[in-house]
Structure 1
Amino acid sequence: MAPKTIRWGILGKWCCILMQTTGGIAITFTKDLLLDPATRGVHDIRHTVVAAASSSSASRAQAFLNEVKAPSTAKAYGSYASLVQDPDIDIVYIATPHSHHYQNAMLCLEAGKNVLCEKAFTVNAAQAKKLVQTAREKNLFLMEAVWTRYFPLSVHVREAITSGKLGHVVRVFADNSRAADPEKVWPDAKHRMVNPELAGGALLDLGIYSLTWVFQTLYTTQAPESRKPPKVVSSMVKYPPTGVDETTTILLTFPRDPEQGGDMHAVATTGMRTSSNTDGKGTSGPAIRIQGTKGEMQIWPPAFRPTRTRLILMDGTTEDKDWPQPGPGKGSGWFNGFGNIMNAEGEGHGMFWEADEAGRAIVEGRKEGKYESLDESVLIMEVMDEVRQQHGFRYPEKIETIERVDL
């Protein structure tokens, strides 16, 4: 049977090609998207790009299409409103700053388009709930692009938990931080990492990955009818020049029935000045530790794109596994990466896994992702809301609102 073709529209914010802003993730995603799916053993679907839009000009959208080597038939639009009216698009990938996700996703949904929206899903839970409500009312597919959940590595980790190999999981440590000197790296304070106008701060940008590991190991793995939201306590250090969070630590307690092992704890950490991957070579130890009554699973950094796991059981069993990302391989002359860091020749970045899931959902008629429900995306936003509320951390009203505004 011939593979089904999923036709994508790419909605991004590009100032120049290969810049280190949110436009960079659109380049990475789209280059992965256009790889031959057979290079990763996928034969039921394939992807193509039929259009891209920049908020500023069609010429920038065309430059993007040229950069990612999109088909020559792909159209370049100078406005998002034009993109969402294109009848040839099956689904729109949103790669703008998360300060803009709500407005951009609502534009797509109101135009009847399925949506894959970058993380963090929105700025707050109220926005996430409104998007979910709209998607369900219009019978559209909507998914938060938490790409890490769809890695074969992540599937392996969750199966180790649900199979009972670790016993009852009781505690998880998860960190995703970046060792930066924000005053020197972003001296004008306009970069999305530190700019409140772009919903900056460590929590929404980096901490979402720490929470992803906590939730996909302690929440997703529980039976839907029995799992409950966690209790949340947090600590935060703010970045003085702009007031966004620079270091945040969250302690979560997940209720669980005593016969299933009782309550579970998690510590999720994130920050701008330190990192669990200090040498960039993966020799700093695991960034995630999932601890159970029979042993633990360790995941090496970076938390967002791990490629190594270690299973250590109480009976002396140790299993190390490498999980390289597939692609066309050495000698292909093809490269992908993010920002100024390129992967090995012919190695994909790993964003195709979430695209495959979105594509299959559309073909099958499903309206949300298999490994993270929309309700769970909302719950994670509620946790981040609670953390911000505990520390009086709020963004400008035009960023927090659920009203339709121009940003």
Structure 2
Amino acid sequence: MAHTIRWGIMATGWIATTFVRDLLKDPKARNAPDISHQITAVASSSSQEKATQFISTLNIPPPCTAYATYTDLVADPNVDVIYVATPHSHHFQNVMLALHAGKHVLCEKAFTVNAAQAKILVETAREKGLFLMEAVWTRFFPLSVQVRDIIQSGEIGEVLRTVADTSFGDDVEGKWGTTHRMVNPDLAGGALLDLGIYSLTWVFQTLYHTLPKSQRKPPTVTSQMTPYHLTGADESTTILLTFPTSTPSNDKPPRMSHGIAMTNIRVSGDPDEQGTSGPNIRIQGTKGEIQVFGYPFRPTKYRVIPKKGVEGAGEVRDVECGFPDGGHGMAWEADEVARCLRDGKVESEGMSWEESIVIMEVMDEVRRQGGLVYPAKIESTEYPLEL
């Protein structure tokens, strides 16, 4: 019998819409017959009417209650887990609200504004025995799982370099102006926290996560940041991460590995949006490489290229990884949450608390090097605090 979990949706923007549409699809279409999702409550901070309209527009089946406040949402006894879909400037306050109400939480990326906030969320979840996970949906794609499996099998040897680029070539002034969340410091805007997290995701899941936990060591960080002249948020950030080990076997003597994580909102990693420019992600090992095609947050194909002359190497192969039933790809992370709750786990091995904190620490250091500071209120670890 399928295990059912009941979701409360916090916020009604684009990301919440996309997440709910995926939850409403048949889990059997993605080979997840053991899981069932129900959406039992939705809250909008602006009005109950907006939450009601969200429920109606998406045809969420009853019973599903509309709330005008997040406090009412987290108090609903018919909700098991809260999906936090608010701007990341508000994640710390919103997740703390849910945890203090005794709710499990799936929180959108970036997890928080800084690592200090992330550590408090983790400690709170641990003390209360509640599940908590950063919603890095890309981690749970079959494509990502397959790529990690190939690395851990040793097929491409020791992985010594991963290059990942998550960039969009937008008319920043015309499209984003000064108030949009992408460029607004009051909402922790900028390329790093919103898009750069995906480049870091690929660096970490190939150079860090593929090692046994006992061998994972944080990288040193060198970075450059270009501020957006109208707001001061970063419009371009490039990060060089040096890991003290290689993966998957941590060769003796240990070899260092490099991750290059790039993000930009003025130039694009895929200018014609047809993939002509090639892969946005390259994972390079001593026996070959893996290339990943499509936007780093939602790739659709990967290619394995064996190194010439390697004994036993196979042929170049392309693997297409589609999205069943027209889904966007967010249901896989929701399935992970459901299985963890079913099995009594408070964190996911696929996106652990420790790894979320290490990545937040990297972004803290990048912001320090770039001189990017957000308003004190959204950097604060005080709770509760009105934003």
Sort the TM-score into its range (normalised by shorter chain): over 0.9
Stretches of structure 1 that go unaligned for 5 or more consecutive residues are 15-22, 328-346
Cα deviation digits, residues 121-156 of structure 1 (max 9, x gap): 000000000000000000000000000000000000
Cα deviation digits, residues 167-202 of structure 1 (max 9, x gap): 000001001011111111123x11000000000000
Alpha-carbon separation, structure 2, partners of 1:182 and 1:200: 13
Q: RMSD of the TM alignment (CA)?
A: 1.0
**What does 1:6-405 correspond to in 2, within 5 Å?**
6-12=5-11, 14=12, 23-187=13-177, 189-256=178-245, 258-259=251-252, 261-315=254-308, 317-327=315-325, 347-404=326-383, 405=385
**TM-score normalized by structure 1?**
0.91
Equivalent residue number for residue 340 of structure 1: none
Out of 258-267 and 369-378, give the one that drifted further: 258-267
Alpha-carbon distance, 1:261 to partner: 5.0
Alpha-carbon distance, 1:278 to partner: 1.4
Alpha-carbon separation, structure 1, partners of 2:289 and 2:351: 23
Alpha-carbon separation, structure 1, partners of 2:140 and 2:342: 18
Equivalent residue number for residue 3 of structure 1: 2
Alpha-carbon distance, 1:227 to partner: 1.3
Alpha-carbon distance, 1:66 to partner: 1.1
Q: Is the 8 A contact 2:244 2:254 kept in 1?
A: no
SS at the partner of 1:170?
A: strand
Alpha-carbon separation, structure 1, partners of 2:274 and 2:38: 34
SS at the partner of 1:354?
A: helix
Q: Is the 8 A contact 1:168 1:260 kept in 2?
A: no
Q: Is the 8 A contact 1:175 1:268 kept in 2?
A: yes
**TM-score normalized by structure 2?**
0.96
Amino acid of the structure 1 residue aligned with 2:10: L
Amino acid of the structure 1 residue aligned with 2:101: A
Alpha-carbon separation, structure 1, partners of 2:207 and 2:58: 37
Alpha-carbon distance, 1:282 to partner: 2.2
Alpha-carbon distance, 1:260 to partner: 6.6
Alpha-carbon separation, structure 2, partners of 1:8 and 1:352: 13
Alpha-carbon separation, structure 1, partners of 2:323 and 2:277: 21
Alpha-carbon separation, structure 2, partners of 1:300 and 1:115: 31
Q: Is the 8 A contact 1:9 1:89 kept in 2?
A: yes
SS at the partner of 2:229?
A: coil
Q: Is the 8 A contact 2:2 2:33 kept in 1?
A: yes
Q: Is the 8 A contact 1:232 1:253 kept in 2?
A: yes
Stretches of structure 2 that go unaligned for 5 or more consecutive residues are 309-313
Q: Is the 8 A contact 2:169 2:266 kept in 1?
A: yes
Alpha-carbon distance, 1:283 to partner: 2.4
SS at the partner of 2:22?
A: helix
Cα deviation digits, residues 46-82 of structure 1 (max 9, x gap): 1010000011111101111112211121000000000
Equivalent residue number for residue 406 of structure 1: 386
Alpha-carbon separation, structure 2, partners of 1:314 and 1:391: 38
Amino acid of the structure 1 residue aligned with 2:329: G
Alpha-carbon separation, structure 1, partners of 2:80 and 2:189: 31
Alpha-carbon distance, 1:277 to partner: 1.6
Q: Is the 8 A contact 1:166 1:313 kept in 2?
A: yes
Equivalent residue pairs, number: 377
